[in-house]
Amino acid sequence: MNGRGARSSTNPAALKSLWLNRRTSREALDQSGVWRFRELLPHIPNPEEHVITLREGNTPLYRLPRCSRAVGVENLQAKHQGMNPTASFKDTGMTVAASSAHQGKFRWVACASTGNTSASMAAYAARGNMCSMVLIPDGKISWGKLSQSLDYGALTCQLRTDFDGCVRILNELVRQKPVYLLNSVNPYRIEGQKTAAIELMEQLAWEPPDHIIVPGGNLGNSSAIGKALLEMRELKLISRLPKLSIIQAHGANPFYRSVREFGGKKLEPMTADTLATAIRIGNPASWKKALRVLQATGGEVEEVTEVEIAAAKAEIGADGIGCEPASAVTLAGLKKLRRKGFVKSGESVVLILTGHLLKDPDFTIKFHRGDLFAGTVVAGTPDAAEAAQAKSLQRAPIVLDANLGAVIAALDAADRNS
């Protein structure tokens, strides 16, 4: 599903300079880090009327010096998709899919979500003057995300089930009511999410890294990034493919198991459980597409434990970047891929951080207070060893009397230990 522009101008050098020049434009469409690449997106007629944009995309690519040393990869960077308008990567796909709903004159849009899709959808629906309905698992999404969908005016329903149960009900709903479905099975979402990879290549002067690492939940994002890579190679915008690897939480690892146990021939749905609630998904919709991406790029699939996720999140935080737990599986997964020799020290790696640190402050505070795994990690297990190691990353707040002496003593103690 390429935009018509790509066909009329397939000269890669011309496309690259067109996209770069748009960065200086005053037009909303050009200022969006998604619509800037509209030659590779579906065409929306009358864009001035129908395109809903919050100037999404244009996200930074950061070096991670501490993580880099800890993992033993010299060239390690993170593309922070949490720096989007609603603080997750979902905005890049939502601007395209919500615009398509607007063009189709839908009054209602809806999604099932672990929290980020719903926050994004609610914002874009509000901007486009559409009504939105959110189905989320009761009690299993972070407050930050829930608060967003409330503030953006969505009809927010907390269903007594998990994400997969919400999807089942949503699929029934759209069969019976004229409601536009905005989950990532919507092809417009995937098209918009491709732009993260296009923008990344532009930031790297069109010199692909050796590895890109993404979290895997419903597997829409890995499919989108993979699709973008293949299209860019086809259009000769890049000359080779990075390996795209997908990381899942151990408690929500149906894709990992599909690849490792069944050679990708089938996927057994599971009841998922992880503190990285964004990827608490047991029956991923886009697993076949993600499998094709793994095969086409030669990437790997890996799983990581809860403790590994929490430690990796704090390490990314210590580099002054921060992200939500689901994003941190990328660094945790990279450590494993390094240990297995799949990623070599001289290779270049880009982690895709999918959500902002402030999406889930509860997780972060519990980790730093030492409460996150209280009573759940069994002594003598590898988890306990990891948890003990992660302690060095914990920075619990300290309560002091309001006097200068106590504050100076705290400063001196911290200075001695740093």
Tally of CB atoms within 10 A around 31: 18
Cross-strand bridge partners of residue 132: 109
- Beta-sheet strand order (sheet of 301-304): 61-63, 75-80, 348-353, 211-215, 243-249, 301-304
CB 88 within 8 A of CB 355: yes
Reduced 3-state DSSP string for 316-368: HHHCCCCCCHHHHHHHHHHHHHHHCCCCCCCCEEEEEECECHHHCHHHHHHHH
Q: Which of 100, 245, 297, 327 binds ligand F0G (CB under 6 A)?
A: 327
Note whether 184 binds ligand F0G by CB under 6 A.
Answer: yes
Note whether 220 binds ligand F0G by CB under 6 A.
Answer: yes
Stretch that binds ligand F0G, among 49-57, 61-69, 110-118, 409-417 (CB under 6 A): 110-118
Note whether 218 binds ligand F0G by CB under 6 A.
Answer: yes
Which residue's CB is nearer to ligand F0G, number 213 or number 387?
213
Instruction: Name the minimum Å distance from CB 345 to ligand F0G.
Output: 27
Stretch that binds ligand F0G, among 114-122, 170-178, 197-205, 382-390 (CB under 6 A): 114-122
Q: Which of 279, 304, 321, 351 binds ligand F0G (CB under 6 A)?
A: 279
Stretch that binds ligand F0G, among 56-64, 225-233, 323-331, 392-400 (CB under 6 A): 323-331
Which residue's CB is nearer to ligand F0G, number 198 or number 237?
198
Note whether 88 binds ligand F0G by CB under 6 A.
Answer: yes
Q: How many residues bind ligand F0G (CB under 6 A)?
A: 23
Note whether 253 binds ligand F0G by CB under 6 A.
Answer: no
Note whether 245 binds ligand F0G by CB under 6 A.
Answer: no
Cross-strand bridge partners of residue 350: 77, 212
Q: Which of 144, 208, 216, 242 binds ligand F0G (CB under 6 A)?
A: 216
Q: What is the largest CA-CA distance in the chain?
A: 71
Note whether 278 binds ligand F0G by CB under 6 A.
Answer: yes
Instruction: Name the minimum Å distance from CB 37 to ligand F0G.
Output: 19
- The Cα 67–Cα 76 span in angstroms is 8
Q: What is the dihedral of CA 228, 229, 231, 232, to 10 degrees?
A: 110
Which residue's CB is nearer to ligand F0G, number 15 or number 119?
119
- The Cα 206–Cα 77 span in angstroms is 15
What are all long-range contacts of 387-390, with beta carbons under 8 Å and residues at least 24 apart?
387/307, 389/311, 390/307, 390/310, 390/311, 390/314
Binding site for ligand F0G (CB under 6 A): 88, 90, 113-117, 184, 215-222, 278-279, 324, 326-327, 354-355
